[in-house]
Amino acid sequence: MIRDAIDGKIDLIITKSVSRFARNTVDSLTTVRKLKEKGVEVYFEKENIYTLDSKGELLITIMSSLAQEESRSISENITWGKRKYFADGKVYLPYGRFLGYRKGADGLPEIVEDEAEIIRFIYRSYLEGKTTYTIAQELTNKGIPTPSKKLVKWAATTIESILKNEKYKEAALLQKEFTVDFLTKRTKKNEGEIPQYYI
């Protein structure tokens, strides 16, 4: 849409709020200035700001800074909550894709016996010397659904990830990755920058 506005196809952009327009103050101001140079106005409904108004840029700077700070604060609160959860020894399992378990009535993992049998088959086959590729082929040939429960074709990498997943050994390594920058949401493999918990 910004490209179309710069190309002269749009002369007014209406957006809900400053916080929905860009990730940070710099991006917001840069984009508004580019649009202003082309005679394109941006209207922010919530704040009632028009960018072609003489006070528009000042208000956008202030509101963008506040929105960015609010985003940072929310991100820090979420991060703190997750780290506290991990430090307390609590484990999150993606039950929808975690073969062999479901969330029990008490909130703890509960074994799904028919799926657990697939996990046992994978480990047994691997201990017998079968390759991950061979195991994947056998499961595919039997028509057994993958952990996503959508696909029927198993991949060797799926078998490998199951074999390497410490949760199948009733353990969990928490904080394998962490968010580096709240603005970009970029994650990084944890190489000792923050505490990890092995439960």
Per residue in 140-152, pLDDT (tens digit) is 999 998 888 777 7
DSSP string, 81-112: HHHHHHHTT-----GGG-TTEEE-TTSSEEE-
> Per-residue confidence at 183, pLDDT binned at 50, 70, 90?
low
What pLDDT score was predicted for residue 198?
77
- 185 has a pLDDT exceeding 80: no
- All domains of the chain, ordered by start, with CATH? 2-76 (3.40.50.1390), 92-171 (no CATH)
Instruction: Give the dihedral sign, CA 23/26/28/31.
Output: negative
Whole-prediction pTM: 0.54
Count of C-beta atoms within a 10 Å radius of residue 188: 12
Q: Judging by DSSP bridges, how do beta strands 109-111 and 101-103 pair with one another?
A: antiparallel
Calculate the alpha carbon distances from 32 to 5, 18, 64, 74, 138 in Å.
11, 11, 11, 25, 57
Share of the chain above pLDDT 70, in %: 99
7-23 pLDDT, tens per residue?
889 989 999 988 888 77
Does the pLDDT of residue 181 top 80, yes or no?
Answer: no
Whole-angstrom CA distances from 24 to 15, 20, 65 are 15, 10, 7
pLDDT average, residue stretch 178-184 = 75
Find the mean pLDDT for residues 41-66: 86
